[in-house]
Structure 1
Amino acid sequence: MDTVATVAPRRVTASSNVAVIGLSVVSAAVLALFLAFSGGPGYYVDELYFRVAGEHLAWGYVDQPLLVPLLARLQIALFGDSLTAIRVVPALLTAVAVLVTGLIARELGAGRRLQVLTACVCAATLATLAAGHVLHPTAVDHVVWVTACWLVIRILRTGDERLWLAVGAVVGVGLLAKYLVVLLVVALAAGLLIAGPRRVLKSGRLLAGAGVGVLIAAPGLVWQAVHGWPQFTMAGEMSAGPEGAVNFLVGQVLMIGPFLTPVWVIGLVALLRRAEWRPYRLVAVAYLVMAPALMLLGAEPRYTEGLLTVLLAAGCVRAATLARRLWLGGAALLNGVLAALMVLPVLPIATYAGDPVLATLGEEQFGQTGWPSLAAQVAAVHRALPEDERRWAVVYAQNYGEAGALARYGGAYGLPVAYSGQNSYADFGRPADGVDVVVAVGVERASFSALFRQCEVRGRLTFDVPHFEEGKELLVCRGPREPWPVMWERLRWTGTF
């Protein structure tokens, strides 16, 4: 028999009070933490891309919707063109997400102290710290998934179907940042069909909420349709296939953290087994539907981090005794230290580079260093050109990270505008007709040289600390074999690097 959509308060009771002060303090502390570490060690590779994309605003891009470049543009306009400035909104959004996890605990029956503990625990995960440290679609995606799940749980507890409009608005905003939120919608719908309450699917307000979501997301969806849905090409490029299944499984532990993984597993089991949580069982079923499908596709492990955070909040509510809460607090502390070492610059970058264990833990941070050095090395090649060539030469970068770094730091070295054929960077401009000399960085020599009459290697990139651009060649190429409009179509490419 189908479960009734409106659940009587006497059957599933939320705490009578929200821990307003406690949750606000935790949220403010998370915001302060992110801002304190926002100035180093440097721009994340995608931030360099978003910064330039913000100067070329469009309704959509080959690899993303419109919201994150717009946020980059707004933050720079409001706070200045600095590393800290571009990270204000991610920090704020993630602080809100932490607060919402406490509200999820309240809906599941937690008292005020347990709400605050839940928020603290959820703040100590790798998923949370990674979402709030840099400007990335994940910063929006994280808060959208957590908030949408909170609203759905609240609808099922209170029967207030007006909140479906809010769910639609949240999902619509999520679609402006990352199309991944469609997975959440599909998974929750599957959860409703499998676990109920199915009557919710007949709600007129649910349909109205879906309409609100589509309306908000319409600009990006129309852009994708007009341009042949390039997002599907990007999704195919990012999939590792079945061979990525092991990495996906490992990621389910790492995204929350090894010390807190048992807690989200407890939350998953409790949602499936506790009679009083039966109306919310769809959340657990949504994860069990989504995770195996993504694993078989070899998708990124982080695609489930929003649902994992909700499951973690549910697991925290099971800490009913003092002993369990002390254990939970200790696990959160250890987990938070490990997560911070991995994604926040809590130590000097040289310290990470000088220790094999720290270098492995902080691998992601090395991609945030060396960009001024890259610009300086390209500038040295450019300065070595004869005067008559230097005046008209352009710079070509194989990927948007290199091009974004040159856009940010190249001006100080007198470099011209840098171009790249990757993704939507190819639409930001190409070399003018008649350009005969190109300084190229990061290209594959054989294929790039085939486009010119002459190419010579002028050096290789080197960095003081490990960097994924290490060893890439710097070329000077002369005499394009075809007109630039034709050449540019050959240089366009879609994918990751």
Structure 2
Amino acid sequence: MARTRTGASTETGTETGTETGTEASTEANTATGPGLVSVAWRPVAAVGGSLTALLLALSGRYGYDADELYFRVAGQHLDWGYVDQPPLVPLLARLQIALFGDTVIAIRVIPALLAGLTVLLAALVARELGGARRAQVLAAVATAVSMFPTAVGHMLHTATVDIPVWVAMSWLVIRILRTGEPRLWLVAGLVGGVGLLAKNLVVLLAIGLVGGILLAGPRRVLRGPHLWAGIGCAALVASPALVWQAAHGWPQLEMAQQIGAIGSTATRVMFLPFQVILIGPLVTPLWVAGLLALFRWPRWRRYRALGVGFLIVAALVVLSAGKVHYAMGCLVTLVAAGCVPAARWTSGVLRRVALVAALAGNGVYTAVAGLPIIPESWLARYPVLGIAQITTKQIGWPELAGQVGAVYRSLPPGERERAVLFGGTYAEAGALARYGPENALPPVYSGHNSLHAFARPADDKTVVIAVNVQPGFTELFDRCEERGRFGLQNEPVLVCHDPKERWSRLWPQLRHISA
């Protein structure tokens, strides 16, 4: 047995205890640190690169996701914060459009690269836990065929950044637990600060990991100034967004309350089943194996905080009624951990065949449920095929602009001069902002989330073509009439005339914050 400088015992040639044969002994002899073997760079990079290439090849299928349409508009109004999110993702939308053009393919380049990075990080987690080449490659493949992480790699979403940040922070904490190196807290803080610029959810992970260490140990890694310095680094990196939120009365707290009010029952009752749905049923045994091993393997006793941390995060998500995918970054880490005992389990040929078949089956599930594989006509006919609306929110936006354009052109010339568009949510508003110019449509406005602050109609605009409006909208006008229905939800397209008050007085009444 070898010992690290912190006194924690490690096993020389770790995989000789988890894998048999020439591969294990060879890799044990090429160890790059106490109990670790070399990173399987080539096969892992091949898996990550293949996933990125696949996502880029599919990036032009279907259309913009509803959130992407919102980020595109928010990117045209760059700020240090928004009522529903920090600034990073709208900035990435603006950057990609500037570099690659204003297309759906362009806005999905960075997500595809981040998906490949997540695959690499999962392999590094497996390696940090003692996994040899087989375990590392298995972790890379299992992550690549996991549904939600791959689905958000197909589109620009806050979770697109959030998931690799969570896995990277977990990997760094595992290294801290293994080596006792306190300076890694500074790196973890920097990574967490970047995460805070994309989504405040990373605070849950920090609470879970630190809470796990306090409960399960080793507590000595929390001593000294480095942990606090890491927290300071995170706060410093995220300080512009935090200052913006404070200056605007912390509107994201209102957003969190709205999410909790909407998802309380679904989250509290369906949290665990949705972890199976979102990661994939055939990959689920891997993250379950990882969680059990963290609690049961004596050799992983010092990493037990990771398992406790997941339970803390899951409890916080359920108690706060957050969205069911909020713990997905933890699940990817657990999948990677589970690949270490899985590599040991697959010492026989039949078991390897069974594991390969399971991964292939989950890959098919991921392709159908999370990627733009199914013909659009099938999704329109059978919406249930779009699991959790991951794919169905990407279809029909040009058609919406065309339908609204037909309504606009049917107006008398005098009314067209006084007309504006109104989107009840950022999805419709974003779609009309993207495709409106192609249909020679007037400007679009919305009271939803940060769109409310971007602009309001001029007081001389007295005709409104509105899509999917909130209850009570029609009462703000002298008269409204329905001119059609749109989309899978059969949303009304209205033409409303003569606001009862000037827009300057009416606009505050149209503000609403929701997910």
1:19 maps to which of 30, 37, 40: 40
1:345 maps to which of 360, 363, 372: 372
Contact 2:290–2:335 at 8 Å: present in 1 too? yes
Cα distance in 1 for residues equivalent to 2:94 and 2:155: 15
The alpha-carbon distance between structure 1 residues 325 and 307, as it changes in their structure 2 partners (threshold 3 A), is: farther
The equivalent residue for 1:205 is 226
The equivalent residue for 1:80 is 101
The equivalent residue for 1:122 is 143
Contact 1:4–1:197 at 8 Å: present in 2 too? no
Contact 1:63–1:230 at 8 Å: present in 2 too? yes
Contact 2:6–2:179 at 8 Å: present in 1 too? no
The alpha-carbon distance between structure 1 residues 353 and 359, as it changes in their structure 2 partners (threshold 3 A), is: farther
Number of positions where the alignment pairs a residue of Structure 1 with one of Structure 2? 486
Bigger shift: residues 334-343 or 360-369:
360-369
The equivalent residue for 2:419 is 393
Cα distance in 1 for residues equivalent to 2:375 and 2:474: 40
TM-score after normalising by structure 2: 0.91
Bigger shift: residues 44-53 or 238-247:
238-247
Q: Is 1:256 matched with 2:275? A: no
- Deviations 1:404-453 (CA, angstroms, capped at 9, x unpaired): 00011011111011000000011111001222221111124x61222122
Bigger shift: residues 6-15 or 103-112:
6-15
The alpha-carbon distance between structure 1 residues 336 and 167, as it changes in their structure 2 partners (threshold 3 A), is: same
- Deviations 1:168-219 (CA, angstroms, capped at 9, x unpaired): 1110000000000000000111101100111122132221111111100101
1:43 maps to which of 56, 59, 64: 64
The alpha-carbon distance between structure 1 residues 277 and 4, as it changes in their structure 2 partners (threshold 3 A), is: farther
The equivalent residue for 1:454 is 479
The alpha-carbon distance between structure 1 residues 23 and 351, as it changes in their structure 2 partners (threshold 3 A), is: same
Cα distance in 1 for residues equivalent to 2:499 and 2:129: 65
| Unaligned stretches of 5+ residues in structure 2 | 15-33
Aligned-residue Cα RMSD (Å) equals 1.9
TM-score after normalising by structure 1: 0.94
The equivalent residue for 1:284 is 307
The alpha-carbon distance between structure 1 residues 195 and 57, as it changes in their structure 2 partners (threshold 3 A), is: same
The alpha-carbon distance between structure 1 residues 6 and 408, as it changes in their structure 2 partners (threshold 3 A), is: farther
The alpha-carbon distance between structure 1 residues 362 and 247, as it changes in their structure 2 partners (threshold 3 A), is: closer
The equivalent residue for 2:329 is 306
The equivalent residue for 1:488 is 507
- Deviations 1:474-494 (CA, angstroms, capped at 9, x unpaired): 222222111212100000111
Instruction: Please tell me the residue identity of whatever aligns with 2:355.
Output: L
Distance apart, 1:291 and its partner CA:
1.3
Distance apart, 1:98 and its partner CA:
0.5
Cα distance in 1 for residues equivalent to 2:54 and 2:514: 33
Contact 1:438–1:478 at 8 Å: present in 2 too? yes
The equivalent residue for 1:322 is 347
Instruction: Please tell me the residue identity of whatever aligns with 1:64.
Output: Q
Contact 1:396–1:418 at 8 Å: present in 2 too? yes
Instruction: Please tell me the residue identity of whatever aligns with 1:271.
Output: L
Cα distance in 2 for residues equivalent to 1:27 and 1:474: 44
Pairs within 5 Å for 1:412-423: 412-423=438-449
Instruction: Please tell me the residue identity of whatever aligns with 2:68.
Output: E
The equivalent residue for 1:332 is 359
Distance apart, 1:4 and its partner CA:
9.6
Q: Is 1:431 matched with 2:432? A: no
Cα distance in 2 for residues equivalent to 1:194 and 1:225: 32
The equivalent residue for 2:28 is none
1:31 maps to which of 52, 58, 65: 52
Pairs within 5 Å for 1:27-426: 27-239=48-260, 240-242=263-265, 244-319=267-342, 320=344, 321-323=346-348, 324-354=351-381, 359=385, 361=387, 363-426=389-452
Distance apart, 1:159 and its partner CA:
2.2
- Deviations 1:146-185 (CA, angstroms, capped at 9, x unpaired): 0000011012112222211110111000000000000000
Distance apart, 1:355 and its partner CA:
5.8
**Aligned with 1:450: secondary structure?**
helix
**Aligned with 1:453: secondary structure?**
strand
**Aligned with 2:309: secondary structure?**
helix
Distance apart, 1:362 and its partner CA:
8.1
Contact 2:459–2:503 at 8 Å: present in 1 too? yes
- Deviations 1:299-344 (CA, angstroms, capped at 9, x unpaired): 2121111111111111110021423444332211111110111011
| Unaligned stretches of 5+ residues in structure 1 | none
**Aligned with 1:303: secondary structure?**
coil
**Aligned with 1:250: secondary structure?**
helix
Cα distance in 2 for residues equivalent to 1:218 and 1:326: 50
Bigger shift: residues 143-152 or 481-490:
481-490
- Deviations 1:68-122 (CA, angstroms, capped at 9, x unpaired): 0000000000011111100010110111011011111111111123211211111
The equivalent residue for 2:496 is 477
Contact 2:52–2:112 at 8 Å: present in 1 too? yes
Instruction: Please tell me the residue identity of whatever aligns with 1:193.
Output: L
Instruction: Please tell me the residue identity of whatever aligns with 1:456.
Output: E
The equivalent residue for 1:7 is 8
Runs of 4+ in 1 over 6 A off after TM superposition: none
Instruction: Please tell me the residue identity of whatever aligns with 1:408.
Output: R
Bigger shift: residues 415-424 or 10-19:
10-19
Distance apart, 1:296 and its partner CA:
3.5
